[in-house]
Structure 1
């Protein structure tokens, strides 16, 4: 008797999930209320420690801090959020590549506070910026950055937090721009991962003509992604639809390389309202999810 053969199953389509960052609202002091508001629209969120939120969080007494954390945990649990934390990136003590030992030590300590917050919240990913250029070569900067990360390894091992370096973009000469192979070497040598800022990658690699190759190279190391629109190669994060960047195609390509995590609308540009970013993101997500459902049907 011939066995009945089952029809081959079509592999599920891998697609990133569209999310949103708290930094679009310029980090208001009402941390818990702001998170609750965004949780009404998105399951994938990024909490960014910057500006007012940084001042409130790190200026709080122990009792005040615990109240904020308890409120955030309740929002996370109630809404089933996939939340990541973005460490402080602006102002003093945000240069993990600093040639000044005191500044670098303080920068490590500030990142350590972000890791502690993530652990307190019960989330597992922390995004960080590598630091600034100071007219040194990338190999030197990578060595310094590795040394900074080494100081955090005991805490990372104890808490299970995964650090994710964010790739920087063009047009901002102060920031360190690593090549894809340098990001890969950093991740592999430190056991960390990558927060892929898609517009940042585009501003560097679209002009070179190797954008697809760069995206494919780093995709296996991506644990969080940032998205927005841009015009041409300009490093200005616009509401989706305000530029001419093929974000849809980029996310499809990233999905084809196996990434199915959060793609968070992040960073704002002057002249646009937070509501612009929110409404455009919700519209994009609706179309994106509808296309995904159709492809997987």
Structure 2
């Protein structure tokens, strides 16, 4: 089974970025999900270009691949989690989020990232679904243009509680936009367990043609809480086997954003768990893994 495992820096926020990258390389990860945020690679920094070049050199020296994630909680507004979003009633606020995502595409191109992740945001109170979808399509269009120019796909994540919450919503966005080439999918395995009608295994199989980024953690049905492996309900060996069979070649990134206090230890136990699950996923039926 060939999967390329990474770990998200949003689960290592107590570490300097150089230290986090060194830790992941030492543990055997092949890549990193790099969340652009103030404590690591700050997308609002005036010297962002130079910082990005430094990170690229560090990634190259460690042999790490990278995907760029944009889920920082307060990077644009210190008082509103994930605000402003692509759905904000204020056109200037929506434009600020669009500009951040375009900047993320530029950073990703400089780093040689395989994708840029984003999500829609929560529908503001009093906003009709038609209005929300119209705002989303208009606000994301310049990001897709930047992705097309750079050759780095944009991978939209269905997020519980957001306008674009499910795989069906992702396909609705595709249809509204005319199925643009740069638009792909971030599949979060835990989110599949949390709220999709299909099982995580079925979600992987159904999503294979559009997969550009994968996030992974444990989760329980109906509860949006990212859990360390073994603390939720997901049966991982068949899910990982399905990912490998899908010919997905990007990173599969451990996503534990609320566990930075234990990040180094969880990075170690997570890669051990996933290697074991991959071994069990490829063992002949009825045979014990080596």
Q: TM-score, normalised by structure 1?
A: 0.79
The answer to whether 1:96 aligns with 2:83 is: no
Q: Is the 8 A contact 2:70 2:118 kept in 1?
A: yes
Alignment partners' CA distance in 2, 1:44 and 1:156: 21
How many residues were matched structurally?
Answer: 271
Alignment partners' CA distance in 2, 1:110 and 1:288: 37
Deviation at 1:123, TM superposition (A): 2.0
The answer to whether 1:43 aligns with 2:30 is: yes
- Superposed CA offset, 1:140-180 (max 9, x none): 433321211212344223222211111112xxx4x324332
Alignment partners' CA distance in 2, 1:203 and 1:67: 40
Match of 1:250 in 2: 239
Match of 1:182 in 2: 169
**Mapping 1:79-228, distance limit 5 Å:** 79-91=62-74, 92=77, 93-135=83-125, 136-169=127-160, 173=161, 175-187=162-174, 189-191=179-181, 192-205=183-196, 208=197, 212-228=201-217
Distance change in 2, residues 1:146/1:94 (3 Å): same
Alignment partners' CA distance in 1, 2:106 and 2:198: 40
Match of 1:60 in 2: 45
Deviation at 1:52, TM superposition (A): 2.1
Distance change in 2, residues 1:99/1:219 (3 Å): farther
- Superposed CA offset, 1:35-90 (max 9, x none): 23222221121101135225xx235343xx34422321122222332210002442
Q: Is the 8 A contact 2:108 2:115 kept in 1?
A: yes
Match of 2:268 in 1: 279
The answer to whether 1:22 aligns with 2:9 is: yes
